[in-house]
Amino acid sequence: MRYLAGGESHGPGLTAIIEGLPAGLELRTTDINHHLARRQMGYGRGGRNAEKDQVKVLSGLRFNRTIGSPLTLYIENRDCSNWQSVMATEGEPPADWQPVTRPRPGHADLAGGLKYNYDDLRLVLERSSARETAMRTAVGSVGRIFLEYFGFSFFSHVLQIGKAAVSIDAGEIRGVNDIVEKSAVRCADENGEAAMLQEIDQARRDGDTLGGIFEVIVKGIPPGLGSYVHPDRRLDGRLAGAVMAIQGIKGVEVGIGFAAASAPGSEVHDPIILRQGAGIERISNRAGGLEGGVTNGSPLIIRAVMKPIPTLSRPLPSVDWQTGEETAGAVERSDVCAVPSAAVVAEAVIAWELAVAFKEKFGGDCLEEISGSYHRYLERCSRRLKKEENRDDYNSSE
């Protein structure tokens, strides 16, 4: 299962084609739009979020069921009418065309201008900016809907914005979905939320921006997604890569992550126990649901650090790309903080990677085939975990 996406920030819209989805999956644009709206929320975001993103499905769906053919998604950029002359696909630039020539430190502007040999750095920001994460969220939501059918559930929350952090143990607040969905900063802890709002207000007054830390948790994952047999099949690598590829993400942790450096092995690894009547169990989940690049049946726990937004209303020093004069970085309409949105994007990219791994493991062209193979696998795992039969019994019974 794969996808390709395209679309500029101020072009007509964003497009993606997903290939490899099974036939028979129930899909509604309202469900995808729900996640697009969640991505647009969050205290500290800029003006663009007045545009409500809505996905259109152009192929691959009939009467709300996938038909196995490529699923084409389209999200219109609602303010593209204001950019028609500047972003025209044909013709000449307008007479009053103002190229972007002041690269912003922390953005792709300078490196992108060099790489693609542009005069106008707008061509860099049009694709490097996080506008395209609307489509990554839509694509990931399709993966998520596929996995929700098999009992997966997804949750994200913000642990820190600037210096303001949640004041209770993250373990205690995991799973409090309702509170998080109502919080302006996706924070489950009232005190933490109040401090985060203050930090954002202060940064806005200072003409500055903020980053932070968020966490994504996925429950209902079977053991055995991904593989240790080859590096490119390791799910830890794929998931970390997908989260790191979100604009602004500078660090990704799985389970206790960096804290593993300072604890002995006896306090890092999760003991395996045999519970009478229940079978083999794990009594902790410091590994965050992954061992050897393979899901182990415990919830997946991934945390990520987002750097502060690079577009500052009091910009940092830069050099004009055209004149060579010292100047200040360009100022565009911009967010002060986008950590809550990045958490929703991360849910989506994680859902997509898990969906790809799930489809790899259970195969099939239609939902019934995948479902049959999935439930046979779960039964086998359950028998083996309960020690009801050994491998020879299992081989002969299949």
Ligand X SMILES: Cc1cc2nc3c(=O)[nH]c(=O)nc-3n(C[C@H](O)[C@H](O)[C@H](O)COP(=O)(O)O)c2cc1C
Tell me which residue of 171, 201, 202, 206 sits closest to 189, measured CA to CA: 171
Closest to ligand X by CB, 35 or 107: 107
CB of 164 to ligand X, least distance (A): 19
Closest to ligand X by CB, 129 or 296: 129
CB of 174 to ligand X, least distance (A): 22
CB of 104 to ligand X, least distance (A): 7
The DSSP bridge partners found for residue 65 are 26, 62
CB of 374 to ligand X, least distance (A): 32
Closest to ligand X by CB, 300 or 342: 342
CB of 265 to ligand X, least distance (A): 33
Closest to ligand X by CB, 70 or 106: 106
Structure letter (DSSP) for residue 18: E
Closest to ligand X by CB, 136 or 144: 136
Closest to ligand X by CB, 21 or 342: 342
Element (H, E) at 199: helix 190-205
CB of 311 to ligand X, least distance (A): 3
Q: What is d(CA 281, CA 177) in angstroms, rounded to the nearest whole number?
A: 26
The token pair that represents 147 in the structure block? 């996995």
Query: Per-residue DSSP letters for 315-376?
Result: PPEEE-TTT--EEE----S--S--HHHHHHHHHHHHHHHHHHHHHHHH--SBHHHHHHHHHH
Closest to ligand X by CB, 133 or 285: 133
Q: What is d(CA 212, CA 217) in angstroms, rounded to the nearest whole number?
A: 17
Contact present, 40 and 21 (Cβ < 8 Å): no
The token pair that represents 341 in the structure block? 């949105």
Q: For binding to ligand X (CB under 6 A), which residues are involved?
A: 46, 106-108, 128-130, 133, 246-248, 309-311, 334-335, 338, 341-342, 345
Helix, strand or coil, per DSSP, at residue 15: strand
Would you say the C-alpha torsion 310, 48, 116, 342 has a positive or negative sign?
positive
Q: What is d(CA 194, CA 184) in angstroms, rounded to the nearest whole number?
A: 10
CB of 242 to ligand X, least distance (A): 13
